Amino acid sequence: MKTPIYLDNHATTSVDPRVLEAMLPFFSETFGNAASRNHAFGWAAEEGVEEARAQIAAIVGAGAKEVVFTSGATESDNLALVGVAEFYKDKGNHIITAPTEHKAILDTCHMLEQRGYEITYLDLDQHGSIDLDQLAQAITDKTILVSLMAANNEIGTIHPLKEIGRITRERGVLFHTDATQGVGHMDIDVEEMNIDLASYTAHKIYGPKGCGALYVRRRKPRTRLTPIIHGGGHERGLRSGTLNVPGIIGFGKACEIMQAEGVAGREHLLYLRDRLHQGITHEIGEVYLNGHPTERHPGNLNLSFAYVEGESLLMGISDIAVSSGSACTSASLEPSYVLRSLGVGVELAHSSIRFGVGRFNTEEEIDFVIKRMVEVVSRLREMSPLYELAQDGVDISKIQWNQH
């Protein structure tokens, strides 16, 4: 077994060897521009792209013509929100989302607020779940879009997409889901769930970085967008720019593998995740699960370790690749905004670790991580005066500290 052990599969995944094998010819042999319609090199590239488009559409139950290629889920989120806001501005200026969404949604919403749009951020319970009644009540005659993610990138909580889609369809409001963490790990069917727009990306499902997709419903109802990138009119005018052909081929192959191995893959993740959770909590106390106990991503385990400082914990387990907070914001020393939105205290939020179990992790690796976590947490707690006080029955929250 090699170290370091990689358990940060929500940040990114390694490229599956089968995906790489499918991509390689498109770098050097079939290297044409898919928009070059005058010769065989372009035709071959276009043929590969269209085959991949069908694979990428199929994983969410969409038609091939409903997939628009982007540079990744962040761009897809931006195109969905800004594209809808611009196109439907005469109908309304109100968007509904939640405070635990990815920064690609939240930062775009903040930008739209500065342009005069109104954003409603739904309340969440302690597991990060929304109240469907509150969602229904929040919709007004000015609401044009509801954007709620499939599975949370930090705590793994899954939103009830089918129920959300039923509400939005009844009220004539568009429904966008950031499905980046959910695709392949949960059942997503855009028809059955009444989803109008869905963002996802290759590098979270063992494909390459730099290639994403936005599903855009073509009928019943047709969803319209104003493009945010101009020039050349590629992707039916919705996203100009030369297509990343090798990336798209890899994305397609990654989706094909996910569909073929989906159930077995989920069972593998669940088994390893639960083994990790039980192994840690059996050996050490005062460990708290963040996110929904059952309605969650099968590979996600987010734990807070009381009386342990998060940075010290990460330094102590330097041979294990995990994250504290989300990868897109972990450069910051601020506690996770997702955990704070759930009402988790600052101290516990600072001591949270996100384990992202993936396709290539093994039982041997999980057992090593359990042993290592128990060692490091126990050692850090031995050095903590607060832990000693808590063991003696002192309520630390009631201590009045002297200030000098």
Please name which of 378, 379, 357 lies closest in space to residue 275, comparing C-alpha atoms.
357
Map 259-283 to HEC letters. HHHHHHHHHHHHHHHHHHHHHHHHH
Label the pairing between strands 143-147 and 174-178: parallel
Catalytic residues: 328
**DSSP H or E segment with residue 145:** strand 143-147
Report the C-alpha dihedral over residues 345, 349, 352, 356, rounded to 10 degrees.
120
Q: Which amino acid is at 239?
A: R
Rounded to whole angstroms, the Cα distance separating 329 from 315 reads 18
Rounded to whole angstroms, the Cα distance separating 175 from 170 reads 11
In sequence order, which ranges of 161-238 are alpha helices (DSSP H)? 161-171
Instruction: Give CA angle at 307 (305, 308), nearest 5°.
Output: 65
Q: In what order do the strands lie in the sheet with 300-305?
A: 287-290, 300-305, 352-356
Specify which residues 151 forms β-bridges with.
158
Q: Which two structure tokens, joined as six digits, stand for 69?
A: 């290629």
Please name which of 283, 280, 284 lies closest in space to residue 357, comparing C-alpha atoms.
280
Q: Which two structure tokens, joined as six digits, stand for 94?
A: 């109100």
Phi and psi, residue 115, nearest 5°? -90, 5
Rounded to whole angstroms, the Cα distance separating 314 from 320 reads 9
Please name which of 380, 291, 287 lies closest in space to residue 341, comparing C-alpha atoms.
291
- The answer to whether 347 and 320 have CB atoms below 8 angstroms apart is no
